[in-house]
Amino acid sequence: MILDVPYRSIPDMFLKRVATTPDKPAFAHPAADDSGPVWLTWAQVARRAKAIAAGLRELGVGSEDRVAILASTRLEWVLADLAVMCAGAATTTVYPTTEPEDAAYIVADSGSTILIAEDSAQAAKMAGGTLPNLTHVVLIDGAADATAAVPQLTLSELEARGAEALSAEPDLVDKIIETVEPHHLATLIYTSGTTGRPKGVELLHAGWCWEGVAQGQFDLLRPDDLQYLWLPLSHSFGKTLLCGVIHVGLSTYVDGRVDKLVDNLSVVRPTLMCAAPRVFEKVYNRAVTTAQQHGGAKAKIFGWAVRNGKEVVALEQAGRPVPGGLALRHRVGTKLVFSKLQARLGGRMRVMVSGSAPLSREIAEFFAAAGLPISEGYGLTETSAGNFVNRPGRLKIGTVGQALGDLECRIADDGEVLLRGTPVMRGYHNLPKETAEAFTEDGFFRTGDIGALDSDGYLAITDRKKDLVKTSGGKYIAPSYIEGKFKAICPYTSQVVVVGQARNFCSMLITLDPDALAGWARGGPLAGRPHAELAASPEVQAMVDGYIKELNQQLNRWETIKKYRILGRDLTIEDGELTPSLKVKRRAVESNFAAEIDDLYAGTLAEI
């Protein structure tokens, strides 16, 4: 059945939303004094976005011209992106954590004529680049530099210019929006390529509108939801959520400050939140380690509640009835234990969605037991992020759910997941050879992921095709499966990387969560020690040893971890080891910690 998409473009979808619910709260930002959310209605958002759009046209921006946004997740990012759409142009997204060389390359390669930067520090990333197309830099924060090589102005000045243009020609932007067609370029999002240079993914208005409508099905998003949006808007996951918000019309609090997330959940009290697995892992770690540190009766009650909850979940997943006695025990456990976790997440959470990386099955079962089921989903930048998701009330743990809309999925002979449909990219920007290689002869996109479809259409992802490890003994290992198991077993874990390609056994690099480890040491002889010193201590080594033994009991002989190394620091975006969406970049980790890996295999024979 073909998905009915009643929009020509994102701005068309946006104007129809504004006309339908002009006075409904649309987007909020944190107050200057952090006293709570400050809301804008859809009509107010439209007024500001149109003014910025008119300002961009005053600067010479035309149809499908690229405008780059280099900023963190904040209300102004949303306004700027909507303005670019309303100006008939296309947004080039740049992560605020991108290094200057790559940031300048993205702006240059995309042919962006305008850069909207968060502040002068972000704008300065362009200093060393050759940017023949760049005509203006717009600053969200701070004053414009009158001496800058590329002329600067502030976003508020741009908005004021546009408002003046609209006072003279009120229907200026409306006329532009009428010219934007489904096949027009909407977004260029750069993703890492095998050459080391980022590749620009060309995504069209048709695909984003499809995403908006598809998310409105199956009770995934509701008009009465309140979303907490903190994900990077430079990432396709964030962009696809904005499209769902516009189509469905739900209210969204926008705040990219990850350090404020937990504290703000109890203030904003959302019903919907999407996140990378690392966020759910941290919540899980905090709950488990807190119970362990209390010890005694509290630890026993916690364990009892989790066991009962997981038993209920297992029966529900199998489609079997829950006996009355177990249901009663689960209700008691919820009141004594899980209600506190629910309150910590705001007390009103209806749907939580996990994407961008695999979620451990054990952690998914824990949240389901706690009455906070996580709808794991799946997608790629090249396919507009939202492709599969578990629907509320139809959760199948261990899968990424069923396909959205009319997306076609096929599993290749080697297990690779192939996708075809409206949300799939037009191609890689200026890279015809790479574009051709990314598709099958009949137009399916090669995702690079290994997976399987069950009889109900639920997709299970095993691993990245290129990440599968083949030991020197010829056995294939799926690293993410082992890593997910260890994260669920050891609640002090931050990141795990399994190593074993062409080696005669598997080893593992482990980083420990600084907060969780400090809590573990509190009250003992190691209390207050620096994280690196704690991680290297014999006591921590002994603690992790126990978890490694527990892990190995659940693995095939050839998968077991023979050696491991606890690293003295966590993996970071800044060191190139994590993507901005918190995925581990295996090759970068193996390069940065090559000496530690070599030490693990010193004295062994690797039969390459």
Task: Judge contact between 56 and 83, C-beta under 8 A.
Answer: yes
Q: What tokens does 88 get?
A: 């008939």
The 8-class DSSP code of residue 260 comes to G
**Whole-angstrom Cα distance, residue 15 to residue 183?**
19
Please answer whether residues 56 and 84 qualify as being in contact, where contact means their C-beta atoms are separated by less than 8 angstroms: yes
Q: Could you tell me if residue 199 is inside a domain?
A: yes
Question: What integer is the mean pLDDT of 414-424?
Answer: 97
Q: First and final CA of the chain: distance in angstroms?
A: 50
Reported as a pLDDT band with limits 50, 70 and 90, residue 195 is very low
Measured CA to CA, the distance from residue 433 to residue 442 in angstroms comes to 17
Alpha carbon separation from 196 to 105, 316, 341, 499 (Å, rounded):
12, 46, 42, 21
DSSP for 336-389 reads: IIIHHHHHHTTS---EEEE-SSPPPHHHHHHHHHTT--EEEEE--GGGTS-SEE
List CB contacts of 377: < 8 A, sequence separation 6 or more.
353, 354, 355, 386, 387, 388, 389, 390, 400, 401
Q: How confident is the model at residue 603 (pLDDT cuts 50, 70, 90)?
A: low
**Residue 109 banded pLDDT, cuts 50, 70, 90:** very high
Q: Are residues 251 and 208 in the same domain?
A: yes
- Does a structural domain hold residue 4? no
Q: How many domains does the chain have?
A: 3
Residue identified by tokens 């994280």 is: 531
Average pLDDT over residues 332-342: 96
Nearest Cα residue to 517 out of 454, 578, 592, 569: 569
pLDDT confidence of residue 332: 97
Query: Are 100 and 82 part of one and the same domain?
Result: yes
Q: What is the pLDDT averaged over residues 376-394?
A: 95
User: Cα(8)–Cα(255) distance, rounded to whole angstroms?
Assistant: 29
Going by pLDDT thresholds of 50, 70 and 90, the confidence category of residue 379 is: very high
Residue (of 123, 139, 127, 129) closest to 106 by Cα position: 129
Is residue 605's pLDDT more than 50?
A: no
Do 444 and 473 belong to one domain? no
The reply to whether 1 falls in a domain is no
Residue 115 has pLDDT above 90, yes or no: yes
Rounded to the nearest integer, the mean pLDDT of the chain is 93
98 has pLDDT over 80: yes
What is the distance between the alpha carbons of residues 282 and 493, in angstroms, rounded to a whole number? 9
Last residue of a domain, one of 415, 450, 466: 466
Q: How far apart are the C-alpha atoms of 53 and 174, rounded to whole Å?
A: 10
pLDDT score recorded for residue 503: 85
pLDDT digits (tens, 9 = 90+) for 69-85: 999 999 999 999 999 99
Q: Which pLDDT band, with edges at 50, 70 and 90, does 263 fall under?
A: confident
Does residue 242 belong to any structural domain of this protein?
A: yes
Mean pLDDT along residues 388-403: 96
Domain match, 406 and 510 both: no
436 DSSP β-pair partners: none
- pLDDT tens per residue, range 118-166: 999 999 999 988 999 999 999 999 999 999 999 999 999 999 999 999 9
Q: What average pLDDT does the segment 317-331 reach?
A: 96
State residue 604's pLDDT score: 53
Helix (H, G, I), strand (E, B) or coil at 267: helix
Query: Two tokens at 355?
Result: 């994407």
- pLDDT for 471: 79
Q: What is the pLDDT of residue 470?
A: 78
Residue partners of 35: CB distance under 8 A and separation at least 6: none
Tens of pLDDT, residues 554-591: 998 889 999 999 999 999 988 889 887 788 888 889 99
Q: Are 261 and 340 in contact (CB under 8 A)?
A: no
Whose tokens are 């993410």? That residue is 480
Residue 226 belongs to a domain: yes
Are 230 and 98 found together in one domain?
A: yes
User: Which residues form the domain of 535?
Assistant: 468-600
17-67: pLDDT as tens digits:
999 999 999 999 999 998 899 999 999 999 999 999 999 999 999 999 999
Q: Are residues 450 and 494 in the same domain?
A: no
Same domain? For 244 and 118 the reply is yes
Q: How far apart are CA 341 and CA 218, in angstroms?
A: 27
Helix (H) or strand (E) run with residue 538 in it: helix 538-552
The answer to whether residues 441 and 483 belong to one domain is no
Beta strand pairing status for 374-378 and 351-354? Answer: parallel
Last residue of a domain, one of 466, 495, 524: 466
Nearest-angstrom CA–CA distance, 197 and 105: 9
* 190 contact partners, CB below 8 Å, separation of at least 6: 92, 93, 94, 106, 109, 110, 198, 199, 200, 201
Phi, psi of 469, rounded to the nearest 5 degrees: -100, 130
Res 581: pLDDT: 74
pLDDT in tens, 449-473: 999 999 999 999 988 887 777 777 7
Measured in residues, the chain has a length of 608
Clarify whether residues 426 and 319 are in a common domain: yes
Residue 188 — φ and ψ, nearest 5°?
Answer: -115, 115
Q: Within this chain, do residues 34 and 156 fall inside the same structural domain, yes or no?
A: yes
CATH of the domain at 452: 3.40.50.12780
Report DSSP state, residue 335. I
CA 502 to chain centre: 31
206-230 pLDDT, tens per residue?
A: 999 999 999 999 889 999 999 999 9
Q: Is residue 534, in this structure, part of any structural domain at all?
A: yes
- In the chain, the percentage of residues whose pLDDT exceeds 90 is 82
Q: Which two tokens stand for residue 393?
A: 């009330």
Question: Reduced to 3 states, what is the DSSP secondary structure of residue 432?
Answer: helix
| 606 lies in some domain | no
What residues does 451 pair with on adjacent strands?
461
* CATH code for the domain of 580: 3.30.300.30
Judge whether 462 and 541 are in contact, CB under 8 Å. Answer: no
**pLDDT at site 333:** 96
The CATH number of residue 87's host domain is 3.40.50.980
Tell whether 269 is covered by a domain: no
- Do both 332 and 365 map to the same domain? yes
Query: Which of 466, 494, 520 represents a domain boundary (last residue)?
Result: 466
Considering the domain architecture, whether residues 478 and 531 belong to the same structural domain is answered as yes
